Amino acid sequence: MEQQLSEQERIRRDKLNELRRMGINPYPAPEYHVSHVAADIKARFAQQPEAFTQVRIAGRLMSMRDMGKACFAVLQDHSGRLQMYVRKDDICPGDDKSLFDIVFKKLLDIGDIMGAEGYVFTTKTGEISLHVKHFTLLSKALRPLPIVKTDDSGQSFDAVSDPEFRYRQRYVDLIINPQVRDTFVKRSKIINCIRRQLNAAGMLEVETPILQSIPGGATARPFITHHNALDIPLYLRIANELYLKRLIVGGFDGVYEFAKDFRNEGMDRTHNPEFTVLEFYVAYKDYHWMMQFCETLLEQVVLDLYGSTAVQVGATTINFKAPFARLSMREALLQHAGIDISTMDEAALREACKQRHIATEAHMGRGKLIDALFGETCEGHCIQPTFITDYPVDMSPLTKAHRSLPGYVERFELMVNGKELANAYTELNDPLEQRTRFDEQLKLQARGDDEAMFIDHDFLRALEYAMPPTAGIGIGIDRLTMLLTNQAAIQEVLFFPQMRPQHQTPQTHEQPTT
């Protein structure tokens, strides 16, 4: 079906054809040497004007004001915006002024990418600007940008705020809403800070399979596909835990991975089917050690990002100064729900959910019922960083039994601002007990729980070669970024979040089984 063009798009294509007719290549060879960027010019010109007598910048044309024999324009590069002053006699010193009148004033559009050469000066109004001596069209834009008005102070009006548009066309969002870029710069800084600390602690960054024959390491519904050559089903990983623990068996004492995981579940403001998790495992450590390491790690991330341990999240100030509060799962439910899970079987837990109008399903076992109770009655009270510790064994198939509390395991979750941010264990390394735990998961599958774990026979075989005592943790990078950049929706910290298709396109190739 032929693309329906708007009037603006037709006009821009006409301009494109006119440029080509004039012998001007609207998409020239890519090399264009840039000597400065806008932010550097603005930051240093007042102190070092002599350093900006010959400047070459490149970026996107964001506005133009025709002044007759001159134009003021604004160029935006990755660092910010800079005003340009373009005079007809500078661009066309001879008698022929057509390059200025026709090309610059008539054939260029907002959104075009161009290069400009000249010197920096300060206008009568005090604005640092580039006096352009030469310009080059580097890429013609065929679609108009949404118009965002900016006043003299730089404040934007009529900014595009429609999430549907912003998430689908993130490339446009980044152009017209420069503050969005800051969120993703901070995300990169968060990851780099974590990586530096893990490397300094002697851990090795590794990569493990995304396509897996068993979707193990978590309780979640997987995506399934088909490998044609092997004629077998494969799953996109829901976690990388079991492979990282295989590496601990193999002799690495500390490994970590920033992993893309996939879960075929609902989407909302805090869940995307594709997400990023940091997992790391350290031999000869336990969950007590991991709590201390985790709080120190996150405290340093916040200090690196803001120079303080305090972060503003909405109207709440959250302080990541270590040590964090600690509260057992049993204590939390006693305190906030008035129930003692240590004395309750599945029927009693189901009744407790019913009394509190918490929806349950027949396949939910004791672990999921406790999880539902905790989520509804306790999570919202954990605003400041809080370690919830010592979970019932029913909730933790991969966790070592508690050394002093029968029926519990050595596990903690870090709760911040009412949400889970991290999940950690003293890892179960008894292969016979692990097999028993997997068998319990199979019973839940038989009851209809499609999130229950599979049995990973190769992982059990690895454990039979002996895994040393190990502590492991998973930290949600997307949620951590949301928290540290004050974003309420996960879509704000993902460049390209999953969206419902706008329209169906006919497929001409074989599609995988899903």
Say how far apart CA 231 and CA 210 lie, in whole Å: 18
Distance CA 173, CA 179 (A): 10
Residue 287 structure tokens = 């969950």
Tell me the C-alpha distance between 476 and 457, whole Å: 27
**Do 7-145 and 180-493 come out as alike in CATH topology?**
no
CATH superfamily membership of 7-145? Nucleic acid-binding proteins (2.40.50.140)
Q: How far apart are the first and last CA of the chain?
A: 28
- Per-residue pLDDT, 94: 74
At residue 447, the pLDDT reads 78
CATH class belonging to 180-493:
alpha beta
Question: What pLDDT was estimated at residue 396?
Answer: 85
For residue 279, what are the β-bridge partners? 257, 474
Please say whether the beta carbons of 101 and 107 come within 8 A: no
- CA distances (Å), origin 374, targets 140, 331, 352, 426, 470: 56, 11, 11, 21, 27
Indicate the SS3 state at residue 10: helix
Rounded Cα distance, 68 and 87, in Å: 9
Give the per-residue pLDDT at 107: 93
Residue the block writes with tokens 């580097």: 138
Closest CA to 295 of 385, 224, 384: 385
* pLDDT one digit per residue (tens) for the chain, 514 residues: 346 899 999 999 999 999 999 999 999 987 899 999 999 999 999 999 999 999 999 999 999 999 888 999 999 999 999 999 999 999 887 767 777 888 888 999 999 999 999 999 999 999 999 999 999 999 999 999 997 666 555 565 556 788 999 999 999 999 999 889 999 999 999 999 999 999 999 999 999 999 999 888 887 889 999 999 999 999 999 999 999 999 999 999 999 999 999 999 888 888 999 999 999 999 999 999 999 999 999 999 999 999 999 999 999 999 999 999 999 999 999 999 999 998 899 999 999 999 999 999 888 888 889 989 999 999 999 999 999 999 988 888 889 999 999 989 999 999 999 999 999 999 999 999 999 988 888 887 777 777 677 789 999 999 999 999 999 999 999 999 999 999 999 999 999 999 988 765 544 444 444 4
Measured CA to CA, the distance from residue 226 to residue 228 in angstroms comes to: 6
pLDDT at 514: 40
For the whole model, what pTM was predicted?
Answer: 0.89
Domain spans of the chain, in order of start: 7-145, 180-493
By C-alpha distance, which of 44, 397, 464 is closest to 239? 397
Query: What pLDDT does residue 211 have?
Result: 96
269 neighbors 489 (Cβ within 8 angstroms) = yes
> Helix, strand, or coil here: 278?
strand
CB atoms within 10 A of CB 169: 15
Q: How many other CB atoms sit within 10 Å of the CB of residue 13?
A: 13
Cα 313 from Cα 301, distance rounded (Å): 16
pLDDT at 150: 60
